Amino acid sequence: MKIFADKALLPQGWADAVALTITAMGDIVSVEKNTRPPPGSKTLPLMIPGMVDTHSHAFQRAFAGLTENHATRGGNFWAWRRTMYALLQRLTVIDMKNIARHLYIELLKGGYTAVAEFHYLHHLAGAENIPGLASARALLSAAEDAGIGCTLLPTLYRTSNFDGQHPKPSQKPFVLEIDNFIHLFSILNDDISQNTNQALGLAFHSLRAVSPDNIKSVLNQIKMGDSVIPKHIHIAEQEKEVRDCLAHTGTHPVDFLMNKIDVDHSWTLVHATHITPHECDLVAKSGALVALCPTTEANLGDGIFPLQRLIDGGGRFAVGSDSHVCVDAAEELRFLAYVRRLMTQTRSNGTGGHAGTMLWSTGARHGAAACGRKIGVLEVGARADLITLEMGHPQLTGRRSAEQILDTYLFGGCNSLVRDVMVGGKWVVRRGRHTLERQAAQAYQATLARVID
């Protein structure tokens, strides 16, 4: 298959008259610039690589908007977490799939073509004998149905705080012993071995929930030949977490992790909100990626990550939608840029050039690295994951350059601009519609009607 576009965002920047040749398996095998399509061929006005959602908890979409009664429930992360725990008491494996499938369709329509699913709901009603397997397979099946690329991150969770406290009753759905975790990973690796749109990584819930010795044990036992396994961890999201870490280890979370574990480019540190300047420099030097989730971090009142310092140090960042109070890639990137502008009191994007192009290219490319998949770029060897925009939208009137169009998409407040979405060489959204969206919405609504109290 060959597709043509008047304008395309390539790794080197914008190019004119681009043709992509895509195999039946969904891989890009040639990229030609300044080409003339054959007479009668359809030409896309503009195409860009799909965005990567670097951090997702699919089930949390179910209670987005239900934790805003701060007057009676308390207005912090820990109160929000109690609402999450309450929902889990009623959630089944089938519910998990219904929620995830609907969410993944929303993400596709919001400009994402791949998601890293940080999965720690290992024990749900309707599960099989092997801990964690049924719910993990439900997520992979939901991603397959929706047509979104997925890196599943089965997550180790063993304790409730740094001092090794036993998990609370409300945390039992998350808990896996290390042997069970290794076994789960092995089965899932076989499950996805033939699926070119899926990959597998490792997640350690947090330093509250997993000790450095636990991490070392897992890393010593899980090998995948020459493949680099993506590794993700929540870290330094909350000030209480930092205080507890200091009390029990004498140092800050990122420092503690890096003193105990060889953190390199295969690691993704999620949030890292409350890191010190020294820790930020360590992260940049290590090559580790920071996954920022601006809308969730704002919704929870987490705090603000020192993004400018990371950029100045040559560090890497990408975005995720986390709790899914937002399912729109443009809005996530816009929020990230606006918070940075408020912090620096400038409108510079830190690297020069157009903000939209820089943010989109960076988010897609670095997000792909966090997923351990060849996506996020339109180049030979990558998966054909891309989106097109609705060029007839009134807000795009007068935008003559591709840079202005992408800037307007991100900063013009018109989030309905995603028109067509391709994942692995297959169109999964056409003219803003997904073929399964009505069916998925009905199943999602039925699930919410049962589990929401």
Residues labelled catalytic: 271, 322
Q: Are β-strands 2-10 and 289-292 bridged in parallel, bridged antiparallel, or unpaired? A: unpaired
Q: What is the dihedral of CA 370, 371, 372, 374, to 10 degrees?
A: -110
- Phi, psi of 47, deg, nearest 5: -140, 145
Tell me how crowded residue 210 is: count the other CB atoms within 10 A of its CB: 22
Q: State the sign of the Cα–Cα–Cα–Cα dihedral 418, 305, 232, 373.
A: positive
Is 232 within 8 Å of 254 (Cβ atoms)? no
Is 266 within 8 Å of 231 (Cβ atoms)? yes
Q: State the sign of the Cα–Cα–Cα–Cα dihedral 425, 418, 151, 18.
A: positive
